[in-house]
Amino acid sequence: MPVRLSTPQMFRQGTNAILDAQLRIGRTSLQVSTGKRILSPADDPSGAVQSLEVSNALAINGQFTRNADLARQKLSYEETVMQSIQDNIQRVRELIIQGNNDSQTPETRRHIAAELRQRYDELLQLANSRDANGEYIFAGYQSDTQPFVRSPSGVVNYAGDDRQRFVQISPVRQVAVGDSGQEVFLDIPNGNGTFVTGTVAGNTGSGSITTGTVVDLATWQATTAPTDSYTISFTAPDTFVITGTNGYNSGPLAYQSGADIQFQGISVRIDGQPATGDSFTVAPSSPESLFETYRLAISTLEQGGGNPTASAVLHTDLGRVLEQLDQGQLRMNDIRARIGARLNALDTQADINSGLDLQLRTVQSAIQDLDYAEAISRFQQQMTGLQAAQQTFIKIQGLSLFNFIR
């Protein structure tokens, strides 16, 4: 049975063929212009899902990279501030050594104390440093709160906390982006770091005690609890006894100026001539604020010495200040070493993140990027097909019975 094709049907088929060819050309042209093989999930459902997963992984890795950059900025700024703090401590140490010299007078020591007050203000300013985002770098979690506030009496109080803020720089790795003011400025052991010496108020002689050294740390730790203390009491200008709150008792012992006095694994020295009834104390170190160390230095220099008894107290207190400044420098060195370790970790992780980014982009390119040679060849074939469809349609338009009747 013959198949009948109506004129409208032939026109419709010809038009549809041309439109389909134009649609394919348009899609190929869009692929070439974007460089993407997958323009919609319908083009390759499995590839589209894989591409989306890779894109998510790239976005997460990019955020880790930005986090690492932020952490590097914060740590680099903290490192700069720590250097300024150490310079400040070093200058204060030089002033203390200058003021502890017997060639100084009470007046010149007060002039030294005046500069120390400026250094004290500078230290307070550095302790309240803010980063580029306006956050206090030594406030712990309380980064919007000024950490160190000076009271009317001159005592510096801490308003931050003892916690550290961390930044995620990989799925399994975090890095601290700051150090609390509690650790940096407040929890610094006084004295020489193991024990602290001092004079008892009311001494009348010219004796001064050194900061001392540790001879046998194990013995000190085994015999002395954190709450124990010892007193060296002079029963005569040339005789003393040592008693402890833990029951320790030694003496009477002969005194010689400048000679080592050893007990419980430590050694101290008393210089000058103590009077009968004078006493000196030895106790385990405890945390002391760096600000309090500065305050002790200022008040000691402002008193200025002036007589043998006052000079003895001055030498004892300034000797203690020097040891505590050294402990402060050790703490700053420790903090800076940790900052350096974190910066090294950031550099290492940056290399890892960069390598992962390159790998993910390579996988994404293999999934969705266009093969230009294949696409251009296909485009030319589609153009040829369109031209053929258009020529065919023109020929079909001429297939009318009226053309033959004419």
C-alpha 141/C-alpha 354 separation (Å) is 30
Task: Output DSSP code: residue 41.
Answer: G
Q: Which of 288, 295, 282 is nearest to 324 (CA)?
A: 288
Q: Please tell us whether the domain made up of 42-193+287-392 is placed in CATH 1.10.1040.10.
A: no
Q: How far is CA 273 from CA 48, 63, 257, 269, 282, in A?
A: 90, 69, 7, 12, 19
The one-letter amino acid code at 67 reads: N
C-alpha 2/C-alpha 4 separation (Å) is 6
Which residue in this structure is represented by tokens 């030498």?
315
Backbone angles phi, psi at 175, to 5 degrees: -135, 140
Helix H or strand E encompassing 370:
none
Residue 388: per-residue pLDDT? 66
Residue 80: per-residue pLDDT? 93
Environment class of residue 177 by beta-carbon count within 10 Å: exposed (0-12), middle (13-18) or buried (19+)?
buried
Which residues are paired to 296 by β-bridges? none
- Outline which parts of the chain fall under CATH 1.20.1330.10: 42-193+287-392
Which residues make Cβ contacts (< 8 Å) with residue 151, sequence separation at least 6? 157
Within a 13 Å sphere around the CA of 71, how many CA atoms are in the beta-carbon half?
Answer: 30
Residue 306: per-residue pLDDT? 74
Residue 6: how many other CB atoms lie within 10 Å: 8
C-alpha 332/C-alpha 201 separation (Å) is 33
Task: Output DSSP code: residue 269.
Answer: E
Kindly tell me the number of DSSP H helices and DSSP E strands found in the chain: 9, 15
Q: What is the chain's pLDDT, residue by residue, as a tens digit (406 residues)?
A: 555 555 566 566 656 666 666 666 666 666 666 666 555 555 556 666 676 787 788 888 889 899 999 899 999 999 999 999 999 999 999 999 998 888 888 889 999 999 999 999 999 999 999 988 888 999 888 888 899 999 888 889 999 888 888 888 888 888 988 888 999 999 898 888 889 998 988 888 889 898 899 999 999 999 989 899 999 999 999 999 999 999 999 889 999 988 999 999 999 999 989 999 999 999 998 899 999 999 999 998 988 777 888 888 888 889 889 989 999 999 999 999 999 999 999 999 888 888 888 887 777 666 666 656 666 676 677 677 666 666 666 666 555 555 555 5
C-alpha 129/C-alpha 243 separation (Å) is 46
Which residues make Cβ contacts (< 8 Å) with residue 212, sequence separation at least 6? 191, 192, 195, 197, 266, 267, 268, 269, 282
Task: Output DSSP code: residue 240.
Answer: E
